[in-house]
């Protein structure tokens, strides 16, 4: 049966997806939480009516977790990511880098040199982006690609050439866009509040002002690119989904209390619901909506869209509980 293959693939990849989200130094209780979350979403995906034949829906194999130390976990992470990348046939570490090789960005790079030696957060973000490409910073795009491939395409007559490794051009574009938006958000979060009281030294204030300028422009550039990319997908529902995701994580920045530098502070009524609400908006929404959009692009119906949405949401929350 053609339609059961995508689910088989997802079933096989489940371990890789598990590996990805389990790479962290965390307390056992959080890992239990993760396991339950991931187990639930696999169960949901596995129990789709399309593949009643698969065993995945009935039993969640016991996830063995060991108390392996942080150092031993690192190679697993990289292997998990590279295996996943082979499945989708795309080196996702370069997803955002491609947009970096443009006139505007080389302009920015020139200006960034002036920031070297200052303590503007933008430098740290830029370094992470360029030198740590294989880390989890690019994993959102990878998840979008994986779920695109797992969901498969409805029309079996569509030429295989159009879909190298089972993922359409539009879906790849969407994965890139997701990464761009996430990066833009990180960059904008690095903007620093400039009250003279904090930066009394003239030169530091100038550095910070300049750093802010570059941060705003580069974030805006990535967002604008994401928007033109979205427009070219020729699907206004996808544009709507992703735009509302951006609204969500902007709103998240205003939930709760903050210090003068915009760092979040715990409040008196902090509880698990507050955490979930805030983090759904901050992290879950983009992932969830991108996953939903990815299967929407392949023409799948509401049910699969909803499941992808939930999958993206749970995996993002699982991630976030590790941070």
Partner 1 sequence: NDELRVCPCRGGGPRSSPSGHHHQVRSLHEPGRQPDESDQTDPASLTQDDLSNMFSDINKRLRSIDELQEISKYYFDGQGKAVRPVITVLMSRAINSHLHNDHRLLQSQQQVAKVAEMIHTASLVHDDVIDAADTRRGKPSVNFLYGQRKAVMAGDYILSVASTMLAQIRNEEVVVVLAQVLADLVQGEFMQLGSKENENERFAHYLKKTFKKTASLIAYSCKAVAILSGGDESLQEVAFQYGRNIGIAFQLVDDLLDFVASSNQLGKPSAMDLKLGLATAPVLFACEKFPELNPMIMRRFHEPGDVVKAFEYVHKSDGLQQTQYLARQHCQEAIRVISSLKPSQEQKALITITDKIIHRLK
Give the interface with partner 1 as residue ranges (CB under 8 A). Answer: 104, 107, 111, 185, 188-189, 191-195, 209, 212-213, 216-217, 219-221, 223-225, 227-228, 230-232, 234-237, 239-240, 243-244, 246-247, 250-251, 253-255, 260-262
Q: Whose Cβ is closer to partner 1: residue 73's or residue 189's?
A: 189
Minimum CB–partner distance for residue 271 and partner 1 (Å): 18
Give CA separation, 60 vs 16, 35, 143, in Å.
Answer: 15, 10, 21
Q: Whose Cβ is closer to partner 1: residue 152's or residue 190's?
A: 190
Q: Whose Cβ is closer to partner 1: residue 43's or residue 204's?
A: 204
Minimum CB–partner distance for residue 185 and partner 1 (Å): 8
Q: Whose Cβ is closer to partner 1: residue 154's or residue 224's?
A: 224
Minimum CB–partner distance for residue 113 and partner 1 (Å): 14
**Residue closest to 190 by CA, chosen among 136, 247, 263, 117:** 263
N- to C-terminal Cα distance for the chain?
Answer: 41
Neighbours of 42 (CB within 10 A): 22
Q: Cα–Cα distance between 109 and 269 in angstroms, integer?
A: 43
**List of E strands, the chain:** 257-258, 264-265
Q: Whose Cβ is closer to partner 1: residue 160's or residue 220's?
A: 220
* CA atoms in the 13 A half-sphere facing the CB of 16: 21
Question: Which string of b and e fits 50-76 if b means at least 16 CB within 10 Å?
Answer: ebeebebbeebeebeeeeeeeeeeeee
Q: Cα–Cα distance between 6 and 183 in angstroms, integer?
A: 30
Minimum CB–partner distance for residue 159 and partner 1 (Å): 23
Phi, psi of 285 (to 5 degrees): -55, -50
Is the CA virtual torsion 140, 132, 170, 22 positive or negative? negative
Q: Whose Cβ is closer to partner 1: residue 212's or residue 305's?
A: 212
**Residue closest to 178 by CA, chosen among 138, 146, 207, 127:** 138
Minimum CB–partner distance for residue 123 and partner 1 (Å): 17
Minimum CB–partner distance for residue 233 and partner 1 (Å): 9
Minimum CB–partner distance for residue 217 and partner 1 (Å): 6
Q: Whose Cβ is closer to partner 1: residue 249's or residue 311's?
A: 249
């Amino acid at each position: 049966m053609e339609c059961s293959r995508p689910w088989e693939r997802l079933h096989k990849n489940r371990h890789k997806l598990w590996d990805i989200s389990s790479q962290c130094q965390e307390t056992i209780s959080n890992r239990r939480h993760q396991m339950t979350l991931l187990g639930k979403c696999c169960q949901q995906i596995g129990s789709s009516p399309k593949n009643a034949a698969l065993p995945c829906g009935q039993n969640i194999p016991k996830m063995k977790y060991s108390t392996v130390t942080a150092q031993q976990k690192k190679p697993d992470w990289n292997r998990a990511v590279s295996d996943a990348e082979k499945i989708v046939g795309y080196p996702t570490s370069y997803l955002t880098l491609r947009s970096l090789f443009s006139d505007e960005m080389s302009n920015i790079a020139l200006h960034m040199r002036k920031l070297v030696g200052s303590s503007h957060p933008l430098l740290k973000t830029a370094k992470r982006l360029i030198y740590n490409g294989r880390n989890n910073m690019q994993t959102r795009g990878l998840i979008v690609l994986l779920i695109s491939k797992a969901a498969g395409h409805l029309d079996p007559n569509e030429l295989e050439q159009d879909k190298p490794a089972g993922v359409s051009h539009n879906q790849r574009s969407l994965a890139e866009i997701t990464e761009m938006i996430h990066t833009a958000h990180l960059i904008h979060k690095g903007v620093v509040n400039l009250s003279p009281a904090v930066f009394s030294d003239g030169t530091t204030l100038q550095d910070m002002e300049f750093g802010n300028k570059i941060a705003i422009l580069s974030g805006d550039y990535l967002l604008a690119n994401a928007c033109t990319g979205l427009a070219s997908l020729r699907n206004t529902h996808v544009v709507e989904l992703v735009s509302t995701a951006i609204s969500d994580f902007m709103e998240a920045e205003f939930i709760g209390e903050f210090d003068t530098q915009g760092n979040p502070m715990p409040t008196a009524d902090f509880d698990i619901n507050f955490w979930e609400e805030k983090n759904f908006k901050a992290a879950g929404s983009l992932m969830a909506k991108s996953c939903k959009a990815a299967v929407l692009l392949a023409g799948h119906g509401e049910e699969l869209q909803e499941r992808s949405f939930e999958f993206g949401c749970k995996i993002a929350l699982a991630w976030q509980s590790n941070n």
